[in-house]
Structure 1
C-alpha cells in the first residue's frame, strides 16, 4: 500500500506513462471534455482540489520541463493568485499565451486531470523534462 505521495492509482498510472517532452493538462472544473484524451476526474466540490494543489503534489515525483498557461489567467485573477502559481512553478517561468493558442496544445497531451478548481483560466499544460 502506498504511504506517501500521490495515492490515486489512476494519476500514478498516467504519470508513469508520460515520457520526455510528453504533456499533461491540469484542468479546472469548467475545462471542456476531450474524448480522445485520457481523463482522470478528481473534482469533488468547488475548489476541491485546486490546480495549485495538484501541481504541488505532482512536482514531488515528476520532473516538469515547461509550463504553459493562458494569458487570461493573469488578467482575470488577483496578483496573489498569480504569484501563488508562479511560486509553485519556480524555478520554471510559466509561458503565457492566448487561451485560443493554449487550447491548440491540448489535443497533443497524453492525459488530462480535471480538478474542482473555480479559479478562472487556472488550466495548465505541463511538459515532462
Structure 2
C-alpha cells in the first residue's frame, strides 16, 4: 500500500503522467466538463470535499508553474481567491481569464478533478512545471 502522497489511484496516475506544460483542473460541483476530458469525481455531497482541501493535496504532489482562475472569482468569491493565493507558492504564476475562456480552456486539460464545492468560481487550471 502507498505510504505517502495521494492515495486516489486516478489522481496519482494523472499526476505521474504529466509532462512540462500539461494541465489539469480542479473544479467545483457545477463546473461543466467537456466531452472527452477525463473526469475524476470526488464529490460525495454538496460542499464535500472542499475545493481548497483538494487543491492543497494536489499542490503537495504536483510541480506547478502556472495557475489559471476565472477573473470573476475576484468579485464573486474573494475569500476563496485568498485561500488559493495562500496555497500557491511564490514561483507559481497566477493568471486570470474570463469564466467563458476558462471553460473553453478545459478542452486542453488532461483531467478535471470534481469536488463537492458549492461556492462560485471555485475552479482552477494547474499547468505542470518541471523539477529541473
Please, what TM-score do these two structures have when normalized by structure 2?
Answer: 0.90
- Deviation of the 1:81 alpha carbon: 2.7
- Deviation of the 1:94 alpha carbon: 1.8
Q: Structure 2 CA distance, aligned partners of 1:2 and 1:87?
A: 28
Q: Structure 2 CA distance, aligned partners of 1:66 and 1:93?
A: 5
**What is aligned with 1:55?**
55
- Deviation of the 1:128 alpha carbon: 0.2
Q: Structure 2 CA distance, aligned partners of 1:106 and 1:15?
A: 17
**What is aligned with 2:110?**
110
**What is aligned with 1:120?**
120
Residues 86, 93 of structure 1: 8 Å contact kept: no
Question: Does structure 1 residue 81 correspond to structure 2 residue 87?
Answer: no
1:78-106 CA-partner distances (Å, limit 9, x unpaired): x4332111110131242111111112211
Question: What is the RMSD of the two structures over their aligned residues, measured on CA atoms?
Answer: 1.2
Residues 51, 122 of structure 1: 8 Å contact kept: yes
Residues 46, 118 of structure 2: 8 Å contact kept: yes
Q: Structure 2 CA distance, aligned partners of 1:33 and 1:105?
A: 11
| Number of residue pairs aligned between Structure 1 and Structure 2 | 128
Q: Structure 2 CA distance, aligned partners of 1:113 and 1:127?
A: 14
Please, what TM-score do these two structures have when normalized by structure 1?
Answer: 0.92
| Local SS of the residue matching 1:94 | strand
**Unmatched segments (≥5 aa) in structure 1:** none
**Unmatched segments (≥5 aa) in structure 2:** none
Residues 68, 96 of structure 2: 8 Å contact kept: yes
**What is aligned with 1:2?**
2
Q: Structure 1 CA distance, aligned partners of 2:101 and 2:123?
A: 13
Residues 73, 122 of structure 1: 8 Å contact kept: yes
